[in-house]
Amino acid sequence: MRPLFRALACALPLMAAPAGAGFATAADITAEQSALVYDLLKPVMTAVPPSGTDPAIFGKAISILKEEHLAGQGSRPHFTEKGILDRYGKALFLGARTPQFAGDIGHIRDLVEKGDRPALEQSLRDLWAKADRAPPDTKALDPVIKSLYGAKGEEPEETVHRSIDKPGYRVEIAHARAGGKMQVDVTTKNPDGTDRDRTSFQGVTETAPTPDGQELQRRIRLDQTCTSTPETDAATVEGLNGDWTSGAGETWTVTQQDGKITLTEKRAHGRPLEYTGTYRLGQVAAAHPITEAGDMGENLPMQVRQQLTTKHISFRIALDFCSSAPSALKGTWSSQHVTYDGMFFQVSRIHDPYDLSLNLSRAGEKVAQGAAQDEIP
């Protein structure tokens, strides 16, 4: 299996559920997903709506989430991932001292999953100092970082989607493990079935020690909450135009005309990639059809890339534009793994999408962002 990377990937998106995903009920949501949704929504379970949101729309969304037993639970659903602390402790050669550095290891795990190589190197140096080890040079860090990626798993994990669709509303949950993000959207409908408004809860992954300090657990920290309507779309769409910058330093130019949004990614190597799509209820959803081998990373053999140009697949982005944070576009960039024969390079399977974090800021402003995919070992 090989990731279908671009030559200079910058990050990824939370997209609509892939074909065949089907609809869910609260009972279909796993214990892990329930626990993470609890983390995401707990900060907004108050009488005061978040700043910048429409109180009526927000309140309606909370009522729907409670009705679906996704919010308002008395305590966090029990879920523990086994063996994570031990695997990372072995990769870091910490031995019996591993529990002593559980908090640091949790942060390192988050950086590994996000692919933030510069921040990961610094965190490893900080850990070495705490452990009274000599500070390593960059070359000495390479085998350690490779071991950490081995503890995580070689390939980015596919995004998990759940959707609850009922008369009057739709709830969508997307857990982008590879991008370290989770999003819950509540969309209410008009009597004719069209979408009326959307409330979006977006969070980022943080790995923390369990209360006894003997294991790590994944948590979600709420990053932003937005409410959107067709009226707010009309008022904010002009603000999308212009140049934006990713955390990896790439420039994206956004233009819109007659309801169509175009985002052009200017890469350091290769032709610019043009994504076209829509801006609806505060979200930009756009795709770039893969039609040239140069659209993909050179880590894939040319024979494989040439086959993929005929498979009608696309890179996709999903970015949320919050009127309360007009200088940021936050979301994900989506790609897929591909399985092919190592001798004859024949593609046998294209896998479900995975999403990486993509945050854009107005040119000249900084937004925290993971490293480019070509920096990942």
Q: Mapping DSSP to helix (H, G, I), strand (E, B) and coil, where does residue 319 land?
A: strand
Give the C-alpha separation, 193 to 282, whole Å.
Answer: 19
| Domain membership flag for residue 337 | yes
Residue 324 contacts residue 232 (beta carbons within 8 Å): no
**Tens place of pLDDT for every residue, the chain, 377 residues?**
334 543 323 222 222 333 333 344 555 788 888 999 999 999 999 878 998 899 999 999 999 999 999 998 788 887 777 888 999 999 998 999 999 999 999 999 888 877 778 889 999 999 999 999 887 787 888 888 888 887 766 567 889 999 999 999 999 999 998 888 999 999 999 999 999 999 999 999 999 898 888 899 889 999 999 999 999 999 999 999 999 999 878 899 999 888 799 999 998 877 899 999 999 999 999 999 999 999 988 888 999 999 999 999 999 999 999 877 888 999 999 988 889 998 899 999 998 888 988 999 987 665 544 434 333 33
Q: Residue 204: which of 105, 117, 121, 113 has the closest Cα?
A: 113
Crossing angle of helices 102-114/117-130, nearest 10°? Answer: 170
Q: Which residues of 11-25 are buried (b: 16+ CB within 10 A; e: fewer)?
A: bbbbbebeeeeeebe
pLDDT at position 21: 38
pLDDT at position 366: 55
pLDDT at position 346: 93
Supply the CATH number for residue 274's domain.
2.40.128.30
| Domain membership flag for residue 39 | no
- Total domains present in the chain: 1
Residue 182 contacts residue 163 (beta carbons within 8 Å): no
- Residue 273: count of CB within 10 angstroms of its CB: 22
| Domain membership flag for residue 157 | no
Residue-number span of the structural domain to which 272 is assigned: 2-17+233-375
Place of tokens 């929504």: 41
pLDDT at position 13: 28
| Domain membership flag for residue 93 | no
- Residue 69: count of CB within 10 angstroms of its CB: 13
| Domain membership flag for residue 271 | yes
pLDDT at position 370: 43
Q: How many residues does the chain have?
A: 377
Place of tokens 């944070």: 325
Query: Residues with Cβ < 8 Å from 90, sequence gap 6 or more?
Result: 151
Based on the number of CB atoms within 10 Å of its own CB, is 259 exposed (0-12), middle (13-18) or buried (19 or more)? exposed
149's tokens:
């990626």
